[in-house]
Amino acid sequence: GAEAILMAFERIQNGLADRMLAGSCSDSGPYVWGGFDAMRVVPSTYNQQPERASRPMAESAAGFVPSSGAGALVLESLESALKRKAHIHAEVLGGAVNCGGQRGGGTMTASNGKAVQRCITEALRTTGLKGEDIDSINGHLTATSRDAEEVFNWSQALGRSGADFPLINSFKDVLGHGLSASGSMECVAALLQFEARQVIGNRNAADLHPEISKLIDPSRVPVENTPASPKIIAKASLGFGDVNTCVIFKRYD
């Protein structure tokens, strides 16, 4: 889904289209999720409290919660949007896509950390931004053991840590992990934060993973919805196939 948004952005930027609908969807069912259950990457501790099961960035995270759905954005040139008097949610500044080659710790289901860092730094380069310009991060953050590594990769790529780190969240504690739909669903949710003037909290991350709390100030991982006016949001989708995407959004004023 995140890749589709960047592909549409590039076609419009190159004058090949004025307006495009970009997004993704996924299916669901026992035959889809049975394999993940067999790999023991879905949690069973909270079967009686399913709303607490997905716990991105938490020490008690025990795996991702399967979900399905769809998300889409209408991308268009500014001229097209103004001409039809569209409600503009945000501006896509750019982004990057790469593949870690399933090397250096990367696998079919987990990303190569160095490739993740390169993806983020390349996204910054294409937009002309610096790490200090990012106000908020919506990470991939699936509630697995790789969450701490992802935060580390963000810290390295942005050159920020401690209390200087951007506010960071994951929507998988609310939406679950929709596989191919997750990038587009989470992009939609990330953009809604601009108009809400808040960063959505990580409701199940009160017991922040110790490796994360060593790296960044716990206040940068809000548990409750936090009043804020982010101008620049970086959204990442990482992992399956060791393919990484980072999209940079800007509030439209």
Which 3 state secondary structure label does DSSP give 20? Answer: strand
Nearest CA-CA partner of 161 in 112, 215, 118: 215
Say if CB 11 and CB 17 are below 8 A apart: yes
- CB hemisphere CA count around 84 (13 angstroms): 11
Parallel, antiparallel, or unpaired for β 90-99 and 243-251? antiparallel
Give me the CATH number covering residue 84: 3.40.47.10
Could you list the residue range(s) of the whole structural domain that residue 226 is in? 2-251
Q: What is the pLDDT of residue 110?
A: 80
Q: What is the pLDDT of residue 107?
A: 78
Q: What is the pLDDT of residue 100?
A: 86
**Domain count of the chain?**
1
Q: What is the C-alpha separation between 1 and 58, in angstroms, rounded?
A: 26
Q: What is the pLDDT of residue 103?
A: 85
Q: What is the C-alpha separation between 75 and 80, in angstroms, rounded?
A: 10
Q: What is the pLDDT of residue 27?
A: 85
pLDDT averages per 10-residue partition of the chain, 253 residues:
96 96 91 85 91 96 93 97 96 96 80 94 98 98 94 98 98 94 96 96 97 98 96 93 94 93
Say if CB 192 and CB 245 are below 8 A apart: no
Q: What is the pLDDT of residue 32?
A: 82
Say if CB 183 and CB 243 are below 8 A apart: no
